[in-house]
Chains A and B, each alone.
Chain A
Amino acid sequence: MNKFTDRRSLLKGGAGLLAAAATMSSDQLLGYAKAWAQTAPWKPEPGAKINLLRWKRFVEAEDVAFMKIVDAFQKANNVTINVSNESYDDIQPKASVAANTGQGLDMVWGLYSLPFLFPSKCVDVTDVADYLGQKCGGWTDSGKAYGMLNGKWIGIPVAATGGLVNYRVAAAEKAGHKEFPKDLAGFADLVKGMNKNGTPAGMALGHASGDANGWLHWALWAHGGKMIDKNNKVVINSPETAKSLEYVKGLYENFVPGTASWNDSSNNKAFLAGQLHLTTNGISIYVTAKKENPQIAEDMNHAHLPPGIDGKTRELHLGFPILIFTFSKYPQTCKAFTAFMLEPDQFNPWIEAAQGYLSHFLLGYDKNPVWTADPKTTPYRSVAQSASTPAGEAQMSENAAAAIADFVLVDMYANYCTGREDVKTAMASAERAAKRIFR
């Protein structure tokens, strides 16, 4: 019975954490918003009405804080912002339809590299990015990579949710790792040991846009493999990739069964039910556990995936870029709102409310107390530093965005791990699929 209550309450998310967001009362926020509107370089069009689509929150307090920002902006500028929410999977099709038909939405706060799917439909927001960069300590390299195409900003990377290792401390210690392993071999040993003790790890190998793409790109990069080189030439078929395939298969064989069918929520459920002891995820498991399953929260911790053979950590995190469509009638309002929400006075309480779910791309926010108040959230502070775009070394592009969406890499690993194809065939299939996209 316990299991069922857990599951049901999971759906409710981290309700009741509103207190964290209440650092500024709404009156104060409104007063501030009015003052901000006086000095801001963008003057909202009078009577503007904006339709904004965003991903559906995983942490309720984050959404509450976001809506407070929206509310203050609306009142201060006399404009209307309609916010609609869609689940991760539905954001992109909706945004794509809007881009294709040229109506319906003004702004989308989406996932990954959304602006790169239709760069010609995105308003140039270089002025907003420069303004924010100057004010908030500058952009990280990954922020630039996620926002800029050919020297122009086509979207503002608001935040990212880090796909970091979530693990149960006791289970890791029992497997002989008092400290989280610092290299690939150690990590493989940990996963193996945990499986032996009946406290298995598991990371998604199914079509899970966030989870599966995240850790498998890390596995490829950690072994020196690449999907494409700097000039967008497909170089996936390489000895380095072969090594990473072997490595991932070694992990997969020690995972809890069923990871090939997992979607983005599977590991959350299993971890919170106590059936999974290590996975890669955002901080949402911990946030939910703190509220509903304190024993698990007490016994878990987070860590970055271990560095690759060259000693560098490169991870693919789930970026959240916001974009403005070129067909919007109110571009100034959209720009003003984007800048407003990333200003320290809004952004600080907001990321505090998100409790680590949103990691910043603007270096100034390293100082936010949310990253140090609870040491278990600290690893998520440096998400932007270790982040790479799906394009790796190359310039982020439409094609790289398409390759992610088409699960080229995920399919390659899954094909080999489940024994459907051998190393050579798996690499050749991925190569062909990638060439089809990068033609």
Chain B
Amino acid sequence: MSTVQTSMPVQAAAAGEPSLWSRLRANRNWAALWFMLPAAAFLILFLAYPLGLGIWMSFTDERIGRGGIFIGLENYQWLWDDAIFWLSVFNTLLYTLIASVIKFAIGLYLALLLNRHMPFKAMIRSIVLIPFIVPTVLSAIAFWWIYDAQFSIISWSLIKLGVIDHNINFLGDSTWARASVIFANVWRGVPFVAITLLAGLQTVSPSLYEAATLDGATNWQRFRYITYPLLTPIIAVVMTFSVLFTFTDFQLIWALTRGGPVNATHLMATLSYQRGIISGRLGEGAAIATAMIPFLLAAIAISWFGMQRRKWQQGSNND
């Protein structure tokens, strides 16, 4: 923001000492402050204040409909030896890790594929975006039918094909349920990764590839030594976002499983909602939500410090 240009001419030091007001009027930083104020007010009102309020609430026993009193760390103490809370932490980490890795792999593959010249390129690129455009709740309901214990289209097809002889218990078995929600999340998240990486790929200058081809580089070598290093900053950004979105996912889980079966798919966000809003313990719900912050900060820190380093930006041999 220090580059904000004001058209105010710097007042010539006229006769004697200029007043405080005229000095302020001439001060660019003072003007910049005013320019920033609307944005800052917006951020404070809608981001900082709710966040602060949430953290404060986690130290109280506030319930819906009546204020709480400060109880220190009591909410956290109860969470500390709460098996369901730790299960939700485990679930969230598992969900985020696996879904993000798969989303990255498929997204990168799709981006490389879409970066080639092919017929109907524009149309195919827009089709890829569809899962991202469909409202989450709608796609979750579609998946809910696909995974239904009795009416699943997958089970039905496989039974008709004679591959299996009874319905697959998609959302009723812990392992199946975890795999199912991860699949749904991946389906939804891949387009974002793919399209963003595609945008990154298109900034890579074709002359680099031409030079490499002349030097006799193989396909793999071109990817490894040109594409990958030049794409790293974009990867860092897109994966940070992807991890943050996945970690805080709520709608998909809530529509599909409500955290069941036996809490095997309860994420921290869904547990926080269940405890905070559904059973009315705002303080406890806030404590669970606050417990997410360190994880999110860690994810941001990793990519932020990573992006500061040239090694990440320009390949490993370039310090």
- Residues of A near any B CB (own CB < 8 A): 3, 7, 92-93, 96, 99-100, 117-118, 120-121, 205-207, 256-263, 266, 269-270, 273, 275-276, 398, 401-407, 411, 414-415, 418, 420, 429, 432-433, 436-437
Name the B residues within 8 Å of A429 (CB-CB).
83-84
The chain A residue sitting closest to B78, CB to CB, is A436
> Can you identify 25 A-B contacts, CB atoms within 8 angstroms?
A93-B277, A99-B64, A117-B64, A118-B280, A120-B65, A120-B66, A207-B258, A257-B167, A258-B171, A259-B149, A261-B261, A262-B172, A266-B148, A266-B149, A275-B150, A276-B150, A402-B280, A402-B281, A405-B278, A406-B274, A406-B278, A415-B262, A418-B174, A432-B83, A433-B84
In the assembled complex, the CB of B310 is this many whole angstroms from the nearest CB of chain A, namely: 49
* 7 A-B pairs with least C-beta separation: A258-B149, A118-B65, A261-B171, A405-B279, A261-B172, A207-B258, A260-B261
In the assembled complex, the CB of B264 is this many whole angstroms from the nearest CB of chain A, namely: 8
Name the A residues within 8 Å of B280 (CB-CB).
96, 117-118, 398, 401-402, 405
- Give A433 to B81 CA distance when docked, in angstroms: 10
Name the B residues within 8 Å of A402 (CB-CB).
279-281
Name the B residues within 8 Å of A3 (CB-CB).
151
- Give A256 to B149 CA distance when docked, in angstroms: 9
Name the A residues within 8 Å of B235 (CB-CB).
none
B25 at the interface (CB under 8 A from A): no
Whether B150 lies near A258 (C-beta < 8 A) is yes
B125 at the interface (CB under 8 A from A): no
Whether B260 lies near A261 (C-beta < 8 A) is yes
In the assembled complex, the CB of B195 is this many whole angstroms from the nearest CB of chain A, namely: 33
In the assembled complex, the CB of B81 is this many whole angstroms from the nearest CB of chain A, namely: 8
Say which size band chain B's interface belongs to.
35 or more
Whether A270 lies near B150 (C-beta < 8 A) is yes
In the assembled complex, the CB of A324 is this many whole angstroms from the nearest CB of chain B, namely: 14
Name the B residues within 8 Å of A275 (CB-CB).
150
User: How many A-B Cβ pairs are below 8 Å?
Assistant: 126
Name the A residues within 8 Å of B314 (CB-CB).
none
Given A121-B65, A258-B171, A436-B78: 8 more A-B contacts, CB < 8 Å: A118-B65, A260-B172, A276-B150, A401-B280, A411-B263, A420-B262, A432-B81, A433-B82
In the assembled complex, the CB of A246 is this many whole angstroms from the nearest CB of chain B, namely: 17
In the assembled complex, the CB of B137 is this many whole angstroms from the nearest CB of chain A, namely: 12
Name the B residues within 8 Å of A260 (CB-CB).
169, 172-173, 260-262
The chain A residue sitting closest to B150, CB to CB, is A270
Whether A96 lies near B151 (C-beta < 8 A) is no
Whether A206 lies near B260 (C-beta < 8 A) is yes
- Give A262 to B144 CA distance when docked, in angstroms: 11
- Give A181 to B258 CA distance when docked, in angstroms: 34
Name the A residues within 8 Å of B259 (CB-CB).
207
- Give A138 to B162 CA distance when docked, in angstroms: 61
The chain B residue sitting closest to A116, CB to CB, is B280
- Give A318 to B177 CA distance when docked, in angstroms: 28
In the assembled complex, the CB of B174 is this many whole angstroms from the nearest CB of chain A, namely: 7
Name the B residues within 8 Å of A207 (CB-CB).
257-260
Name the A residues within 8 Å of B281 (CB-CB).
402, 437
B28 at the interface (CB under 8 A from A): no
- Give A429 to B86 CA distance when docked, in angstroms: 13
The chain A residue sitting closest to B166, CB to CB, is A257
> Quick one: CB contact mask for B257-273 with A, threshold 8 Å, 1 for yes?
11111111000000000
- Give A256 to B223 CA distance when docked, in angstroms: 51
- Give A156 to B308 CA distance when docked, in angstroms: 63
In the assembled complex, the CB of B41 is this many whole angstroms from the nearest CB of chain A, namely: 22
- Give A258 to B277 CA distance when docked, in angstroms: 27
